[in-house]
């Protein structure tokens, strides 16, 4: 089915989050090393960012490296770092041309110097862009994000920048990494796993969930449109009737 044709262009989710999962299984199925799965996965990042941009999505948040991913073998971590550098190096010009702003969720300064410098460059050179936000979660955990926000709120409170009455569910959002993105409409998790894995815990409050058995390296524009088409059939009540 051609889902791109079926999607209602007037009802596109403003903010999509994706847990990019299944790179390892994709490689294993083909008798390839896991690193090849990550390479194929990073090629999909290029395709899906472009598709989101063309569909007019305002924010895309990609889970690229979690706080738990440090437990992986060091050569796999190095490969992921290499892919990140490669992605920024090869895509930055296009991202700038398309007026996309890159934003990082998580403490990426814990990454190797080369990664930190490439990412910092990308952040600086896209900071004024406003057509779309590409949030990349790097060394990210949703619980850690909430704790960080809480600490920053307490610090602002102690410094009399805010009062206790200023703290509410909306103002809390300003302390999250996604403060510039619209509310998360749709969470996509490919590869058949049915869990949230510490991703965007606060932001997920009223998101629609879409799980797919397709592995991330096979998740193409048509799969994205299938998820959006499914999203468009949902009755979103936000707690109302």
Site for ligand FPP in 129-148 (CB under 6 A): 136
Pairing of strands 186-189, 132-140: unpaired
Q: How many CB atoms neighbour CB 132 within 10 A?
A: 20
> Which one from 11, 21, 99, 183 is the annotated catalytic residue?
21
Least distance (Å) between residue 235 CB and ligand FPP: 31
Phi, psi of 227 (to 5 degrees): -65, -40
Q: Is 45 in the site for ligand FPP (CB under 6 A)?
A: yes
From the CB of 22, what's the least distance to ligand FPP, in Å? 4
Question: Annotated catalytic, 69?
Answer: yes
Stretch that binds ligand FPP, among 21-29, 114-122, 180-188, 229-237 (CB under 6 A): 21-29
**Closest approach of Cβ 192 to ligand FPP, in Å?**
9
Which of the residues 53 through 92 are near ligand FPP (CB under 6 A)?
62, 64, 69, 80, 83-84, 87
The answer to whether 54 is a known catalytic residue is no
Active-site residue numbers?
21, 69
Interaction site with ligand FPP (CB under 6 A): 20-25, 38, 41-42, 45, 62, 64, 69, 80, 83-84, 87, 136
């Amino acid at each position: 089915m051609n889902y791109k044709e079926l999607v209602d262009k007037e009802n596109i989710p403003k903010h999509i989050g994706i847990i990019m999962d299944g790179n390892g299984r994709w490689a294993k199925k083909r008798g390839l090393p896991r690193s090849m799965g990550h390479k194929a996965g990073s090629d999909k990042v290029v395709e899906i960012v472009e598709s989101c941009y063309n569909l007019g999505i305002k924010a895309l948040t990609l889970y690229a490296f979690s706080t738990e991913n440090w437990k992986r073998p060091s050569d796999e971590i190095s490969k992921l770092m290499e892919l990140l550098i490669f992605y920024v190096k090869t895509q930055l010009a296009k991202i700038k041309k398309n007026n996309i702003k890159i934003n990082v969720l998580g403490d990426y300064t814990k990454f190797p110097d080369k990664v930190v410098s490439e990412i910092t460059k990308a952040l600086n050179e896209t900071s004024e862009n406003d057509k779309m936000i590409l949030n990349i979660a790097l060394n990210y955990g949703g619980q850690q994000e909430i704790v960080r926000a809480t600490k920053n709120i307490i610090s602002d409170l102690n410094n009399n920048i805010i009062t206790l009455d200023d703290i509410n569910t909306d103002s809390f959002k300003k302390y999250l990494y996604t403060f510039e993105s619209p509310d998360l409409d749709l969470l996509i998790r490919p590869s058949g796993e049915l869990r949230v894995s510490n991703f965007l815990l606060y932001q997920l409050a009223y998101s629609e969930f879409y799980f797919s058995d397709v592995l991330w390296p096979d998740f193409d524009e048509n799969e994205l449109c299938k998820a959006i088409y499914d999203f468009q059939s949902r009755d979103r009540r936000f707690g109302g009737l």
